[in-house]
Structure formats: C-alpha cells, structure tokens
C-alpha cells in the first residue's frame, strides 16, 4: 500500500469513484478486544456473532487507514447498507480492509454523500469476513482545488 488516498473536496471524491483503495495494514481481532467488545455490548465471546459485529465495528477504522478526507467542516455517519458476513472471523484472526467508492452524490447546499464499499479480509480465507457499504455525508469548508485525487 502506498498510503491512504487523500481527498479534500467533492471533486477529489468523484475522481476516486470506482478505484480500489488499500489494503490497510493487518489488525488482530485478539481475545482482549473481543472480551471488551462483548462486555460493552452484552454479548458472549463464545458465540460467533461477537466476532462478526466486532469486525463490523472495525470497518470505519479500516476505511480511515486507506482514505483520508481533509477540509471537512462536518462528517455525518448516515448509515450502513447491505452488510454481509460471508465467512466467520475467529478470535485471534488478523483482518484488513479494502475499499471502493461506489457513489458520490452532491446534495443541496455544500453536502456530499459518499457510499464506500468496505471489504474486510482475514488471513487464510478466500472469502471476506464482512462486506458493508458505508454511507457518509461530508460538509466541506470550501471546495478545494483537486490536488490529491489519483490520476
């Protein structure tokens, strides 16, 4: 990975649409992390669902490792669409994320809605652990000239 994609406005996001970003560095879904997540959510680490939802909770962190959005006055997590768990992650597995911006829509005012498909892979599995479409609305300070978008 050559570093995260850096965008500073809607034009940069539009230029990056369709490109694959990442993968991010590996992260371990360790026992301590799983236990803390289970305690916070009332789950049990003996069930696979704790590892699945812990994996889903890592999606924003993994995305931020492959994409940086600058010049933002406010970002709003608008939702997550189409979450799937094709393969179960076991506690102790290492995961990493890849992303693809699938839609950039300018909204009234200065808002831009971005749908990013994040795929969480884990070691030694042909299938991903999680695939989710993150929907985020960004409100940029001022539309900056496109300078960071990939060519």
In tens digits, what is the pLDDT along the chain, a chain of 151 residues?
467 899 999 999 999 999 999 999 999 988 898 889 888 988 776 666 778 889 999 999 999 999 999 999 999 999 999 999 999 888 889 999 999 999 999 998 889 999 999 999 999 999 999 999 999 999 998 655 555 545 4
The parent domain of residue 58 ranges over 5-140
Give me the torsion for CA of 23, 25, 31, 35, rounded to 10°: -70
Q: Which residues on neighbouring strands pair with residue 135, listed in sequence order?
A: 79, 115
DSSP structural state of residue 145: -
Question: Counting Cβ atoms within 10 Å, is residue 127 exposed (0-12), middle (13-18) or buried (19+)?
Answer: exposed
Hey, is 47 helix, strand or coil?
coil
Angle between helical axes of 48-57 and 31-41 (0-180°, round to 10): 90
The CATH number of the domain holding residue 49 is: 3.10.129.10
Residue 148, domain member (yes or no): no
Residue 146, domain member (yes or no): no
pTM for the whole structure: 0.86
Name the domain count of the chain: 1
């Amino acid at each position: 990975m050559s570093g995260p994609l850096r965008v500073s406005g809607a034009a940069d996001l539009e230029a990056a649409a369709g490109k694959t970003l990442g993968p991010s560095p590996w992260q371990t879904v360790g026992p301590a992390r799983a236990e803390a997540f289970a305690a916070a959510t009332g789950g049990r680490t003996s069930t696979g669902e704790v590892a699945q939802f812990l994996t889903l909770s890592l999606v924003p962190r993994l995305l931020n490792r492959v994409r940086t959005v600058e010049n933002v006055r406010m970002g709003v997590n608008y939702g997550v669409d189409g979450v799937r768990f094709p393969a179960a992650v076991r506690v102790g597995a290492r995961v990493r994320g890849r992303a693809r911006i699938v839609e950039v829509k300018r909204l009234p005012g200065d808002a831009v809605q971005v749908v990013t498909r994040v795929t969480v892979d884990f070691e030694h599995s042909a299938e991903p652990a999680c695939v989710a479409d993150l929907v985020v609305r960004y409100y940029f300070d001022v539309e900056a000239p496109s300078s960071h978008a990939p060519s």
